[in-house]
Every structure is written in structure tokens, then in C-alpha cells.
Chains A and B, each alone.
Chain A
């Protein structure tokens, strides 16, 4: 993994598609996301931010959310425990690093999978990379990037599954209504955890621009889109499936409670 600077070799790409072994995942993500390079370029930066007091406005919100982020993760379960304290420091540092974005409850869910045990600095730069490189603009004011991605997604859907496209258009369901959580949380609240990790493995591997629509300035990884397209296609892609989604609400409900079958890692990774 040490040699895997962008762009990843075909061998590494294949490894990512097959899933990175859990014991290596944290380290692999560090290399793939480029957070290791970022850290080396900014030695001491995290410690500097860590010593600052932080904006009370953000500290208050972070504290309130700390114990509810990973209620079932043993590392984060105890109030004031190591896991929570570490998370707090990483997030506080981020609000100081990007004061205009401040605290946003979503990106730090990624840290749950990125072992903080690699070190606070490492986790911090990984968070920075996720927000800047993989989800650029998603956490900034007015959600402009996500709205734009919604429109791109919708036009892609037109090609991939005209049936689903027609259905969503007819019911006037704007992409923002269903894709916000998927995109912003990079599926961490939607898919089962094992699928999330597999999707993220591929996601980290595919950050370089590859397709036509990526020539847009905000550049989102196409894997992200493909995952959503697969989910939409298999949920709303045939007239048979649409029978039980006659109303706007029924459709939204269906999209919120996807069939476990299509979320299974083997199925999803293969389809994507």
C-alpha cells in the first residue's frame, strides 16, 4: 500500500473492488485518500489546532452529538470515554481548520470506520480529505453542490432506467428529497455496515476524474452515482415494482426502506 499514490494501479483497484482486508483498511484509506501526504505536508498543524479553545457555538453542538453518533460501537459508547474524547478533539480541530463550514454532523461518521487508533492526526487529515476531495462542497452553505449532483444524477437516471426516471418525474420528486442522505452520509446511514465499507473501499480508489460529467468543476466520484443508480433501478425500475408506489409518499417510503437484497455487499458491488 505504501506505493499506492494516485492513480492507483490496476492491482490495487482490483483489491479495492474485492474489498480491503479489515486489518489493513485504515492504513489503506490513508494512502488512497492522500491524507498521509497531506499530513506530511502539514506537520504540526493538527497539534496547533488541538491546543486552541475552539468556537463555543460549535463545541456545544459537537458535545451534544458525541454520544449519539455511534451508539452501538464499543469504542464510542461511554460518555467521556477515550473514543468520545478523541472524536471531540478531531472534530473541534476541523471546525477551526474550516471555520466557514464549522461542524456538520455528517462527515465524521466516516471516522467510525477509519480507526482513530491510527492516531488523531491521521484521523483528522483523513476527515479533511473526505470533505475536500470526495464530498467537495457538500457541507458548505446552501447545499449547492448536492443540488447540482442531484440534477446530474437525475439526468443519468434517464439513461440508466427510463421507467424510474419517468416515475419520479411524474410524482414531482426532486432528487434532493431522496438522495441527500445517501450522498451526504456516503451511504453510511442507508446500507448495512459491511456494504458501506465495500462501497467506501471503491470510493477511495476512484477519486480521479474519469467520465464526461466529471468535467464539471465540483467533481464527484462516479461510484457514488453508480451506487445510487443501482439502488434506484432495482427499486423503481419496472412497472411491476411501481405498483405499490402510486403516491409520492409511498415512493419516498420505498426509497427510505430499500430492499435488503439490493443492499447486500455481494449484490451491490457486483452491480456497481
Chain B
């Protein structure tokens, strides 16, 4: 699935490594930790509610680059809302997770998006809307089309997943990786004074090295 020649031929023979901070946001019990756990450990377990934040890393070796994700899995409880900006500060990508069997969590995801829009410029962050728990299709409250439509109007990536039955979990992270790499390419070909440089080692830019 990896897109070839994404960074052009100038980097032939060199496989760059990109480091991206990815945050998982969403209401309590929508499966943020389970998605991260499935993606990183390929397993499913009932976990305790997250307090504060937990962390995972995953490295993706694509043909054109190596992508290392630093995954920040945040607590979903309402009370953390006031401190949440500390968690997503400097993120390169965000997964807005909701539970397809709980309409309220979908509405909350829209509010999260509004928060992110305040914090980031549109080209500063890749956002994916993720409808989790497709294994609970019988109790579905949010139609696939509804999620899709919202994602389309807001220009977000969209996918429905199930951490429990391992449905499309890897795919959504892969889609994010590709989107991020595409943006790197765009930035490389048309560097803007406001854009982040790929070799910038500062906190906001993706750190790049050679493997």
C-alpha cells in the first residue's frame, strides 16, 4: 500500500526516518487505549480507564521512508478537558475516536475537532475521524454515511474500525502515515516560510534521521 517515490528521486538510496507525534482523542470508553494496544501489540484486552496519558511507539518501514509513531493515548473523561491542550501540543496527527454504538461520543468528537481547529492551522495537523467498535454493529447508533459525510465536509481521513476484532486498525494508521509523508513531499517541493521543515529538530517539526 505504500506509495512509491513519495519523496522524489533526489533521496534515492537514502531511507529517511520521520518521527511523528500522534494523539488519540475522544470520549471515555470509546476504545482509544484498545486501538493503540491493538496497533502496537496486536492484541485486545479490557484495560483500566486511562489516567492522564499513556504512551506507545510503533515503527513503520515503508518503501520510501521509515515512519516512527509516538502515540499519546489520552484520558477520555470530561474532567481532563481543561488540560488536554497540553497533550496534543506539537502533535502531527490526531485520531478523533468515537463509538459507533454511542451517538453522544460522535457529537463529542465534533467538539474535539473544534478544539483542534483552534490550536492548529489546517495544514499543520493530519486529523482522522475513527468510528470504533464495528463489532457492535447490531447496536449501531451512528451510520457509516454520517461519519463519512462529516469527515468529508471537514476534510478529515475517515475509517470505521474494531480494536476487538482487529478491523482496519492498521489501515487507519497507515493512511495517516501516507498522508503525513505526502505533506512532507509537498513541503519539500514548495517550502513556505510558515511550514515546518523536515529537518527541523525543534519540538513542532517532525524529526528526521537516516536509517
> What residues make up the interface of A, taking CB atoms closer than 8 Å to B?
61, 64-65, 67-69, 104-106, 139-144, 147, 171-172, 174, 176-178, 180-181, 184-185, 189, 247-249, 252-253, 256
Contact = CB atoms under 8 A, between A and B. Distances in A.
Nearest to A67: B46
Contact of B48 (A105, A140, A248): A105
Sorting the interface of chain B by its residue count into under 10, 10 to 19, 20 to 34 or 35 or more gives: 20 to 34
B48 A256 contact: no
A238 B79 CA distance: 35
B21 A68 contact: no
Closest 8 CB pairs of A and B: A180-B52, A181-B51, A105-B49, A249-B70, A142-B82, A181-B52, A174-B86, A68-B46
Contact of B29 (A64, A176, A249): A64
Contacts of A68: 46-48
A203 to B, nearest CB: 18
B108 interface: no
A180 B79 CA distance: 12
Given A248-B203, A253-B55, A176 B83 contact: yes
Contact of A177 (B47, B52, B82): B52
Contacts of B83: 143, 147, 176, 180
B49 A185 contact: no
Contacts of A249: 21, 55, 57, 70
B47 A256 contact: no
Nearest to A189: B51
Interface of B: 21, 28-29, 46-49, 51-55, 57, 70, 77, 79-83, 86-87, 89-90, 203, 207
B203 A172 contact: yes
B52 A176 contact: yes
B51 A180 contact: yes
Nearest to A140: B79
Contacts of B48: 65, 68-69, 105, 189
B75 to A, nearest CB: 8
Given A143-B83, A176-B83, A177-B86, A65 B52 contact: no
